Structure 1
Amino acid sequence: MWIGWIEFDLLLGDVHSLKEKRGLLRPLLADLSRRTEVAVAEAGAHDLHRRAVVGVSAVGADLPHVRDVLDRAERLVADEHPEFTILSTRRGLHSSED
């Protein structure tokens, strides 16, 4: 079994409150969950208006599948959600054999 994760450090556009931030993040999290079948959550920068850290995780039987799922999640954020600027991404892959 393989476990993979990707963490996005995102810059949000013209956001002036945490309520506006949540309003932008909610559709992104739902879209990632629905279209890539991953677990997703806001994982950091909770008190900053214009920054968000979003974590995505996937589990699969083989490494190529898990990599593909994480790649699709990254493309979805980069290509289909222009309201966010990706400042950085970090990835991790682990086998249950580790």
Structure 2
Amino acid sequence: MYTGTALFDLLLPGDSRSLKAKRSYVRPIVAALRKFEVSAAEVGALDLHGRAQIGVAVVASEPDHVGTVLDACERLVAGRPEVELLSVRRRLHGADD
């Protein structure tokens, strides 16, 4: 069994000064990520205006499948025109970890 995680650091548009505005950008991205049957949530930068961190976790029997799913998630987030993807941190954990 393998688990993979990805942490997406996002820059939100300038009009996301309020928590309500911030959620209006983050919630649709999290919902779209969940269509890949991953666990996804806003996990960081909760108190920063204009920034968000979204975490994704996936479990699979093969490491290649974990990579494929995380690649698809990264493409989805990077393809969102309303946000800028600043960085992605990925990890793969196997049975020996």
Runs of at least 4 residues off by over 3 Å: none
Give the 3-state SS of the residue equivalent to 1:37 in structure 2. coil
- How far did residue 48 of structure 1 move? 1.2
Write the distance in 2 (CA, Å) between the matches of 1:82 and 1:17: 20
Indicate the residue corresponding to 2:28 in structure 1.
27
Q: Does 1:18 align with 2:46?
A: no
Unaligned 5+ runs, structure 2: none
Which structure features the higher share of helix residues?
1
Q: TM-score w.r.t. structure 2 length?
A: 0.95
Q: TM-score w.r.t. structure 1 length?
A: 0.94
- How far did residue 67 of structure 1 move? 0.3
Number of corresponding residues: 96
Indicate the residue corresponding to 2:94 in structure 1.
95
Unaligned 5+ runs, structure 1: none
Write the distance in 2 (CA, Å) between the matches of 1:10 and 1:52: 5
The answer to whether the Cα contact below 8 Å between 1:3 and 1:94 also exists between their aligned partners in 2 is yes
Q: Percent identity?
A: 51
